[in-house]
Amino acid sequence: MRQVFMDTETTGLYPDQGDRIVEIGCVELVNRKLTGNNKHFYLNPGRDSHEEALKVHGITTEFLRDKPKFDAVAEELLDYLLGAEVVIHNAPFDLGFLNKELELLGRPGLRQFVSSITDTLAMAKEIYPGKRNGLDALCDRLGVDNSGRTLHGALLDAELLADVYINITRGQDALLMDAATPEHATGGGMPVDLRSFDLPILVASVAELTAHDAVLVEMDKSSSGKTVWRLAAP
């Protein structure tokens, strides 16, 4: 399985209003292993970055003046991404810019070249509802070292994203492995009669029940009262 973790930096927020990409970073994983076959481009956008964007990435117009434009690297980028699962944090943002750049070249959108696109922000919101799920917050939560991220950089952010993804999907892989090889759980396929075991019943303490109720209240607040248990209540 080949995955490419991608991030971009841009001159602003709105590709349809003329904002362009200034940096692209890609990190390759094959079968969940880093290969070192990464891609990194600085791009001349043909315009200045907005002040707020410059505060985020720090990539100046002067630095980008002698860098290639997107059309000069488009084929190399598409060849690199061809057939891969592309993983992006907040994918709609980056896709908006990548698809606009391709549109300006008369090319179809990125989905025509890759096998699939995974949005890790959407994944994180499902796993950690009601919590902050930006890349820095996920790094802190999962113990991923992001101490070098004083400014946003596409290649560094792609590397951090790959580490975050491995962490949040590790348990899923374990479950898939167990499901694929059920004999591991039954001692080589021999059935086990659980009636021969005296299984203890563990009852939650008052403190644990209180903490659980507090979590449910916070989740209910963050979803504006649209949690399943509220909707299903009579």
- Kind plus residue range of the DSSP H or E element containing 84: none
Collapse the DSSP code of 162 into the 3-class scheme (helix H, G, I; strand E, B; otherwise coil) and give the result. helix
Give the 3-state DSSP-derived string for 95-160, with helices as H, strands as E and coil as C.
HHHHHHHHHHCCCCCHHHCCCEEEEHHHHHHHHCCCCCCCHHHHHHHHCCCCCCCCCCCHHHHHHH
Token pair for residue 79? 């060849």
DSSP string, 165-193: HHHHHHHHHHHHHHHH-GGGGGTTT----
Burial 86-110 (b: 16+ CB within 10 A, else e): bbbbbbebbbbbbbbbbeeeebeeb
Eight-class DSSP state of 205: P
Q: How many residues does the chain have?
A: 234
CA distance 121 to 96: 16
**Residue 40 annotated to the active site:** no
Selecting among 89, 152, 184, 212, the annotated active-site residue is 152
State the catalytic residues.
152
